[in-house]
Structure 1
Amino acid sequence: MVQYHEPTAAKGQCGDEIEVTATFTTTVAPALPLQEHRMPLSNLDLILPPIDVGVFFCYVAADAAAVSTLKAALAKVLVAYYPLAGEVVANAAGEAELLCSGRGVDFAEAAADGLELREVRVGLPDESVEKLVPRKKAGVMSVQVTKFRCGGAVVGCTFDHRICDAYSFNMFLVAWAAAARGAPAPPSPSFNRSLLAPSIPPPSCTAGTLADRLFVPVSRVPPPTGAPPAAVNRIYHVAAADVAALQASAGPGRTKLESFTAHLWRLYARAFTAHSCSMGVVVDGRGRVSPDGAMKPYFGNVLIIPYGVMGASELRGMALADVAEDVHRWVAEAATGEHFGELVDWVEAQRPEPTVARAYLGVGDGEGEGAGVACVVSSGMRLPVGEVDFGWGVPAFASYHFPWPGGAGYVMPMPSARGGGDWVVYVHAAPELVEVMEEEPTMFRAPEI
């Protein structure tokens, strides 16, 4: 079916108004028929709210047959990744589950005829990326391919986080790109939910466990007061030398992500001087749940979000190494197979009531600090930028895009398409934090394609 839309405005490098116009939309279904069935979500899927995640890839020279190649490859790869062609529905208890219907993936073609790709100000996603990553209206996943005057193209995807995490979607992206190039298909995904089955019999009590400290039933969350806090979106380029300097300052044995998280936590303390600051980290559990590698091909969510809370005044008085030690402590405490199993059992005890990670809520420290601010750091370092080659070469730029509606900030570092250890950092956070980040003379730079 053909649908024509009114052009949406974005801004070029020089601030001129440009148009991104959707010219054609269709739905790409799996290349082979599928027997319709329902797939229950795992208990670790059920801890995710109904939010969508975007990711986009910029290519300086896509061939003339780019769109048809992408569609054909997508239809082929959806045979193995059929959950992405399904729909989220409610079961008898009101919980979300997946209807594997084969409805397909909404696929839009768009044009930015008045703009060259290099002119897109990707550092200001509210002006640019917002027009290049589709808004998902139905189904589990949507795609938009936007062509530029210079022959470049952007491939943007949006997916329902309840169905998979970034690790899972990365597997799909690699398989899609391989199909487009005509390369051998990578190993198929696994949907074996028994890997995350609750204990039998379930524990008699889950109160007081680490899971109980990190998550809370929605009924126990105080209702929001007033309008949601303002948030802005930015994408930064961070040089490998700055990442290395942070890690060195954080002390021996600290990972780059722990060091960056500690630095960001201190920036929050500078931005919100009279608040308590909650900082969380998203931890992937595949290797913790199954050290033998059984979960390596697992498609779904295997995440936990440990966090720490400190008053801004305390954070400002601490050295980076001391803050990084605290981050390491609560991440290490949660990043165990035992804890992931405990979380599965805890969710089972709450069902069918939905739950939420406390890291997103922001809480006071009980020592006189004001209302809490919260941020969650999620590592995108496994984003396979070099492997998302649809036959036109590797991307010139890539980033996630996650302007979610929650009140907490969300920050996601990932590898730069330029390589060499540089990072791209996606930031969805309060304007006060962004101002502090941009006051740093060297670290957070505007990216370029």
Structure 2
Amino acid sequence: MGGATGDVVAAALPIQEHWLPLSNLDLLLPPLDVNVCLFYKKPPHDVTKKESFISIAKTLKEALAEALVTFYAFAGEVVTSPAGEPELLCNNRGVDFVEGFADMALRELNFYDPDESIAMFVPKKRRGVISVQVTELKCGSIAVGLTFDHRVADAYSTNMFLVSWSQISRSEPISLVPSFRRSLLNPRRPLLVDSSIDRLFIPLTSLPPPQETCDQDHALTSRIYYIESDVLDDLQRMASSGSCTRRTKIESFSAFLWKLLAKHAGNDQSTIISKLGVVVDGRRRLAGQETGEKENVMETYFGNVLSVPFGGQRISDLIEKPLSWVADEVHEFLKEATTKDHFLNLIDWVETHRPVPAVAAVYCTGPNEGPAFVVSSGRGFPVTGVDFGWGPPVFGSYHFPWGGRTGYVMPTPSPTGNGDWIVYLHLKKGQLKFVEEEAPHVFKPINSDYLNINSAD
């Protein structure tokens, strides 16, 4: 990509400098940056291409400056407190904003390989909490990339920001005003900690460091597929067979992939335990059955409200037993974390361990352990809702090559709006090859034809 220029965009109104502590749930996240990128067909402007892109970048920067007034946490920076913990300094340092040009057309992008296609359209975050990159392609299409510090925001919070930014760009009022009331996640007094949390989370010092591998089959890489809605329905039907309760699509999909990765490991590892984690958002759980202010505030709470329960099963059982049995196992370990008490216990557990940082135990996979991966849910990813004024994106995805040994999977809704899923897989190369060979009817590589991108785009 050439011709890149940079700027810093601060909030449009003055912000009084202040400190915003990270909540106990924020403190469960190590310093990791997450990428998200949205691709748009050529905006329908009558002016020349150069003037059009200049106008687009100007509109985006002005709308970003307005959005940062409300989402002021994104205009600050993470610093270290006297206790050695990260905290947010809301000083309106601003957001690094890069404009660039890519000498390729939208249709030429290999969306199937996000390490190639998405990576060039998201900025390297050097300072602050987020960075933005806006790129014009030679066909006039636009890519809007964002890199954010996961310690400050989860996907839900970032989605809320993206929608608000686009609404301001269209001169509309924002639909959700973020809440930064950290008191909503204060620990209880006295602390009440359930021993079950000790199995799910461990001190960060126990996380093994990333290791280089010479075996290309074991190198973690990223791929993006689409899964058709009728295939998802079939998986759900098979996963619910014999069960009194219909399994959700995320339970059914997770169970199916768990079986596949166990089969890839093979019988020589049949007695080894494979682990699967599923990310759970606690906003609705913490609101409980309440109505009124607290429920509304939890809906707009900005920060991390996540837990990562996981289960472990012998590879032989995952291979030999039916999909419905595996789905039941997924349902069981998820059930314990989808309650208000679980999140209250987790908040208190973090308090008892501060200032020692902690992390989800499923990420702590040793070199001699079975396959482990985490399924997050981007089903609320507002792909079609992020319209800056020239139409909804033709494609969007998160990109999270986080560098550990544990795989990462994120399904999001297809921009086609037909019930299909777009699925981001960050797994070992050998696993990805096996998945494609074993289940080509499920995992179909994303391409321009599926996204209805033609040669003129």
TM-score between both structures, scaled by the size of structure 2: 0.89
SS state at 2:444 partner: coil
Determine the structure 1 residue equivalent to 2:304: 301
Offset of residue 232 of structure 1:
0.7
Determine the structure 1 residue equivalent to 2:130: 141
Taking a change above 3 Å as real, the CA distance of residues 324 and 21 of structure 1, as seen in their structure-2 partners, is: same
SS state at 1:268 partner: helix
What amino acid does structure 2 have at the position aligned with 1:23? A
Quote the Cα distance in structure 2 between the aligned partners of 1:386 and 1:227.
38
Give the structure with the higher percent helix: 2
SS state at 1:110 partner: strand
Residue 254 of structure 2 is aligned to residue 261 of structure 1: yes
Offset of residue 127 of structure 1:
1.6
Offset of residue 161 of structure 1:
0.5
Determine the structure 1 residue equivalent to 2:235: 246
Quote the Cα distance in structure 2 between the aligned partners of 1:224 and 1:89.
23
What amino acid does structure 1 have at the position aligned with 2:248? T
Residues 166-216 of structure 1: CA deviation (Å, up to 9, x unaligned): 11111101100000011122231000111110011224xx4x622111001
Offset of residue 410 of structure 1:
0.3
Determine the structure 2 residue equivalent to 1:215: 201
More displaced stretch, 271-280 vs 327-336? 271-280
1:284-299 mapped onto 2 (5 Å cutoff): 284-291=281-288, 292=290, 293=295, 294-299=297-302
Pairing partner for 2:156 from 163, 167, 171: 167
Q: Is the 8 A contact 2:208 2:366 kept in 1?
A: no
Residue 444 of structure 2 is aligned to residue 445 of structure 1: yes
Taking a change above 3 Å as real, the CA distance of residues 81 and 269 of structure 1, as seen in their structure-2 partners, is: same
Determine the structure 2 residue equivalent to 1:125: 114
Quote the Cα distance in structure 1 between the aligned partners of 2:402 and 2:91.
27
Residues 80-118 of structure 1: CA deviation (Å, up to 9, x unaligned): 0000011000001110000101011111111113x1111
Offset of residue 269 of structure 1:
0.3
Determine the structure 1 residue equivalent to 2:356: 353
SS state at 1:260 partner: helix
SS state at 1:57 partner: strand
Determine the structure 2 residue equivalent to 1:17: none
Pairing partner for 1:84 from 44, 65, 74: 74
Determine the structure 2 residue equivalent to 1:198: 187
Tell me which of the two structures has the higher relative contact order, counting C-alpha pairs closer than 8 angstroms and 6 or more residues apart. 2
Offset of residue 218 of structure 1:
2.6
Determine the structure 2 residue equivalent to 1:324: 327
Determine the structure 2 residue equivalent to 1:417: 415
Pairing partner for 1:375 from 373, 381, 391: 373
Quote the Cα distance in structure 2 between the aligned partners of 1:134 and 1:314.
43
Taking a change above 3 Å as real, the CA distance of residues 416 and 334 of structure 1, as seen in their structure-2 partners, is: same
Quote the Cα distance in structure 2 between the aligned partners of 1:334 and 1:168.
20
Q: Is the 8 A contact 2:265 2:370 kept in 1?
A: no
Residues 232-257 of structure 1: CA deviation (Å, up to 9, x unaligned): 11011111111111111110511100
Quote the Cα distance in structure 1 between the aligned partners of 2:107 and 2:210.
42
Q: How many pairs were matched up?
A: 420
Root-mean-square deviation over aligned CA pairs: 1.5
Quote the Cα distance in structure 2 between the aligned partners of 1:225 and 1:399.
25
SS state at 1:145 partner: strand
Residues 341-397 of structure 1: CA deviation (Å, up to 9, x unaligned): 000000000000011111112379xxxxx5232100000000011210000101111
SS state at 1:123 partner: coil
Quote the Cα distance in structure 2 between the aligned partners of 1:401 and 1:23.
21
User: Structure 2: which 5+ residue stretches go unaligned?
Assistant: 46-51, 452-457
Quote the Cα distance in structure 2 between the aligned partners of 1:165 and 1:312.
32
Q: Is the 8 A contact 2:77 2:128 kept in 1?
A: yes
Determine the structure 2 residue equivalent to 1:334: 337
Determine the structure 2 residue equivalent to 1:4: none
Offset of residue 312 of structure 1:
1.4
SS state at 1:372 partner: coil
Identical counterparts, % of pairs: 49
Residues 23-57 of structure 1: CA deviation (Å, up to 9, x unaligned): 21011100001111111100000001110111111
Determine the structure 1 residue equivalent to 2:38: 57
What amino acid does structure 1 have at the position aligned with 2:98? A
Quote the Cα distance in structure 1 between the aligned partners of 2:302 and 2:71.
9
Determine the structure 2 residue equivalent to 1:271: 264
Taking a change above 3 Å as real, the CA distance of residues 399 and 101 of structure 1, as seen in their structure-2 partners, is: same
The runs of at least 4 consecutive aligned structure 1 residues that moved more than 4 Å come to 222-226
SS state at 1:79 partner: helix
Quote the Cα distance in structure 2 between the aligned partners of 1:226 and 1:357.
19
Determine the structure 2 residue equivalent to 1:343: 346
SS state at 1:176 partner: helix
Offset of residue 72 of structure 1:
0.4
Determine the structure 1 residue equivalent to 2:18: 37
Determine the structure 1 residue equivalent to 2:101: 111
Determine the structure 1 residue equivalent to 2:212: 227
Residues 380-433 of structure 1: CA deviation (Å, up to 9, x unaligned): 000011210000101111111111111110000000111100111011111121
Quote the Cα distance in structure 1 between the aligned partners of 2:69 and 2:237.
46
Determine the structure 2 residue equivalent to 1:387: 385
Offset of residue 226 of structure 1:
5.2
Quote the Cα distance in structure 2 between the aligned partners of 1:133 and 1:185.
25
What amino acid does structure 2 have at the position aligned with 1:209? S
User: Structure 1: which 5+ residue stretches go unaligned?
Assistant: 1-19, 365-369
Q: Is the 8 A contact 2:378 2:410 kept in 1?
A: yes
SS state at 1:159 partner: strand
SS state at 1:249 partner: helix
SS state at 1:258 partner: helix
Determine the structure 2 residue equivalent to 1:96: 86
Quote the Cα distance in structure 2 between the aligned partners of 1:225 and 1:191.
33
Quote the Cα distance in structure 2 between the aligned partners of 1:328 and 1:182.
44
What amino acid does structure 2 have at the position aligned with 1:165? D
SS state at 2:23 partner: coil
Quote the Cα distance in structure 2 between the aligned partners of 1:22 and 1:437.
39
What amino acid does structure 2 have at the position aligned with 1:27? V
Offset of residue 225 of structure 1:
8.5
